Every structure is written in structure tokens, then in C-alpha cells.
Amino acid sequence: MKIARIFDRYVLKEFIRVMTSSVLGFTALFLVVDVFEKISYFVDRKVPTSIMGLYYLYKIPWIVDHILPVALLMTCLFTIGDMVKKNEVMIMQASGISIYRIFLPIFIFGFLMSVFSLGLGQSIVPASDRARRDLDEYKIKKTNPINKMQRHNVFYKGTKGRIYSIKFLDVQRKRLANINIEEYDDKGHILRRINADSMFWMEKYWKLTRVYIRYFKDDNVEKVEQKNEMILDNLEETWEDFAREERDPDEMTYFELKDYIKRLKRGGENATRYIVDLYLKVTSPFANLIIVILGAPLATLGGAKGNKALSFGLGFIISFIYFLVNAAAQVLGQNGNLPPVLAANTANGLFLIIGFIILFMARKMA
């Protein structure tokens, strides 16, 4: 219907106007609070204003991604509540437009914001978080970059019962120095121990120099070999397995985190906490759609409709409860008390059910 499209444009125009103000306002508020919290940190290290500005520029994508659901909820309560107060919703319904049809453009916009957040979290946010961490490490804390290229005393549990002990790891040269490799059978008995001065990654295989090999039978040395050079092309472990850097999940895309989890599992490590974070990378952006489904009909009910102070307070309470439930489920999932899929979907599932109930109530009361 032509009249429905006219109302769609009006609703969206008001919604986008209020949402833009909300995003800008919450981002500015977040930045001000964070600056006051960190001001002594920057002053103590005599950080130039330009570096501080760059630090917060890198932080903005993360802030926008995290405050977007709150901004959308506030926008729903303000925009729809104001329309109810001015009897605009009643006029639309008198024109033959149902409450569901009135909310439709807002729901579509909420879905688009979820897709936007998903894309943001897979591209700009991880890159800007890594840039901010490097800026903090090398420009603010003034850590020597060479420390990132070299590591000492690396321990790694590999596949097929292999355990690697490495004294020195040179990232730039892809070299492991003073390395000890022990291989065990399924019963935990040692089969072979390889000691080498150096171990170089040759892109498809490992090259060892000055090698000393001991073969065992029943945990006793049975045979000893010495070699100047040795090629190991049957190891599943690649250079990336040893050189991987411990990073926060926020600094990785979905596929980077997925690959990181594979390496952890291959090394025999528990990756549960990262699996929860992996699922959250997909489910968290859709909080934007769910919050809109809940917020739009909620704005038509109760004493908060049209009352900006009450709407603001209600929005913060709902947002706080959502983030509390989400954080609790995440911790339970990381500790193994909830399956990772359930932990990542608990808050979204609960609030989606509540949203549909409120949507049904709004239709009944319309």
C-alpha cells in the first residue's frame, strides 16, 4: 500500500535520526569516561596528545560495535514512545496498518544493523584492536619490538605423543634453537628423543642440524645416532604452531579464531573458552535485531511510553540485564558448565522469547 510506504519512510527517518544521535552520544560518553580512567596512565608515561588521539581512534570501532544494541534499544523506546504519545501510531492503525506492519521497517533496520555489526566484527574491529595493542605496547609502554621477534623456553605438546621443549625461538628466521623432541606411545612409554642445536622451517619440512637421537625400548636406551643434518618431513606441526602469538579473541576474526582453536586442539590444549568466543562472534551481532524486536513493542506499553526519562532508565536496566545474562552464560560456557553453543545463545534466546511475548501483548492491546 502506498500509505504504508509513506509511513515506513517517516518511521525510518525518525528512527535513524535518533539512532545516530544515540550512537554518537554513547560513544562520546564512553570515550570521556575512559580518558578519565586512563589519564594518569598516559601522564605517567608522558604520552603525546597525538598518540593518545590515535589510541582512542583505534578504540572507536570496538566501542561502536559494543554500544550499538544499547543505542538501538534507546532509539526504539524514544522513537516509538514519542509516536505513541503523539497518537501517530493510533493514526497509522486507523489507516488500516497493523502494529506488526508499523514495526516492520524497524525490524528490517535491526537486521541490517546486525549484518553491519557482524561485518564490523570480522574486519575493522580485530584490525583496530591489534593496532591499539601494538600502539600501547611499543609507543606508550615503549617495549622493545625485538622482544616480539624472539621468545625463550617454549613448551609445546604436539600430535602423536610428541612433546617439544625449545630454549629459543627466532620468529624472523623461523628457527628453533636448543630443541628437545620426545615421542611417546599410547601407554606413555618414551619411544624416541631427538636433541638438536637448531631446527629450521623450510616451508614444507623441518631441517635439523647437529642432531643426537636416542631410541628407547621399555623406557631404556636401545640405540643412539648422531647426524650433522636431518630432515623431518613427517611432522604435522608447522612453524605457525610454535610461533603463534597469544592474542585476545577480540583481536581475531572468526576464521583466525577458528584456525587458532584447531592449533590448540592439535597441541592437546583445552580450547573450550575460545570455542565459546567463536560462537559469540556470530551470535552477538544479532543482539541488535533481538533488542529491536523487544524494544519496539515495549515502547507502546506501560507508563514509560513518551516519557524520555523513564524510557532512558528502562533502556539501561534492560541493557544491563542482557549483558549480565550474556556474561554469566559466557563464563559458564568457558568453565565447561554449559555447552559452548548454548552459552553463546542463552541471552539472545531468552530475550527473543521475551520480545515475542511483548510483541504479542502489544498486538492484543492495540
* pLDDT of amino acid 56: 95
Claim to verify: residue 11 and residue 118 sit in the same structural domain: yes
Give 251's pLDDT tier (boundaries 50, 70, 90): confident
For residue 244, the 8-state DSSP code is: P
Please classify residue 142 by burial: count the beta carbons closer than 10 Å to its beta carbon, then call 0-12 exposed, 13-18 middle and 19+ buried.
Answer: exposed
Number of domains making up the chain:
2
**112-116, 173-177, 193-197: least confident range:** 173-177
DSSP state of 84: H
**Which domain-ending residue is among 243, 264, 293?**
243
Residue 302: count other Cβ atoms within 10 Å of its Cβ: 11
Checking if the pLDDT of 247 tops 60, the result is yes
CA–centroid distance for 349 within its chain = 19
The reply to whether 349 falls in a domain is yes
Instruction: Classify residue 247 as left (phi > 0), alpha (psi -120 to 50) or beta.
Output: beta
Residue 161 shares a structural domain with residue 73: no
Same domain, 159 and 96: no
Residues 56-92: tens digit of each pLDDT: 999 999 999 999 999 999 999 889 888 888 888 888 8
CA distances from 147 to 137, 168, 170, 178 (A): 11, 12, 10, 19
pLDDT score recorded for residue 252: 87
Pair 285, 220 in one domain: no
- Averaged pLDDT, 5-33: 91
Tell me what percent of the residues of the chain surpass a pLDDT of 90: 47
> Is the residue at 265 inside a domain?
no
The alpha carbon of 313 is separated from its chain's Cα centroid by a whole number of angstroms, namely: 28
For helices 340-365 and 308-334, angle between their N-to-C axes, nearest 10 degrees? 150
Residues 15 and 116 in one domain: yes
Paired residues of 221 in beta bridges = 216
Domain-located, residue 176: yes
Q: What is the pLDDT of residue 241?
A: 79
72 in the same domain as 6: yes
pLDDT higher at 248 or 346:
346
Lowest-confidence pick of 60-69, 140-149, 205-214, 278-287: 140-149
| Region 97-103 average pLDDT | 87
* Pair 200, 174: CB distance under 8 Å: yes
Is there a single domain that holds both residue 167 and residue 94? Answer: no
Structural domain containing residue 181: 148-243
- Contact predicate 77/294, CB 8 Å: no
Residue 364: the pLDDT is: 66
Q: Which region, left, alpha or beta, applies to residue 112 given φ > 0 means left and ψ of -120 to 50 means alpha?
A: alpha
- The last residue of one of the domains, among 186, 221, 243, is 243
Does any domain span residue 131? no
Q: What are the pLDDT digits (tens) for 336-356?
A: 999 999 999 999 999 999 999
Q: Is 154 found in the same domain as 116? A: no
Q: Are residues 238 and 289 both part of a single domain?
A: no
Highest mean pLDDT among 156-170, 173-187, 280-294: 280-294
The whole-number average pLDDT for the span 239-264 is 81
Residue 143 is assigned to a structural domain of this protein: no
Which residues are within 8 A (CB) of 254 and not within 5 positions of it... i.e. 6 or more apart?
122, 278, 281, 282
pLDDT tens for each residue of 118-152: 999 999 999 999 899 889 988 888 876 555 667 77
- The arithmetic mean of pLDDT across residues 250-272, rounded, is 81
Residues 117 and 152 in one domain: no
79-107: average pLDDT: 86
What's the confidence (pLDDT) of residue 55? Answer: 95
* Long-range interactions of 191-199: CB distance < 8 A, separation 24+: 191/161, 191/215, 191/216, 192/216, 194/230, 196/230, 199/175
**Same structural domain for residues 109 and 15?**
yes
pLDDT on residue 330: 94
What's the average model confidence in pLDDT over 264-271? 73
Q: Note the pLDDT tens digit of each residue in 319-334.
A: 899 999 999 999 999 9
Please tell me whether residues 229 and 278 are part of one structural domain: no
220 within a domain of the structure (yes/no): yes
Residue 37 lies in a domain: yes
163 in a domain, yes or no?
Answer: yes
Confidence of residue 246 (pLDDT cuts 50, 70, 90): low
Indicate the pLDDT class of residue 301, thresholds 50, 70 and 90.
confident
- What pLDDT is attached to residue 268? 66
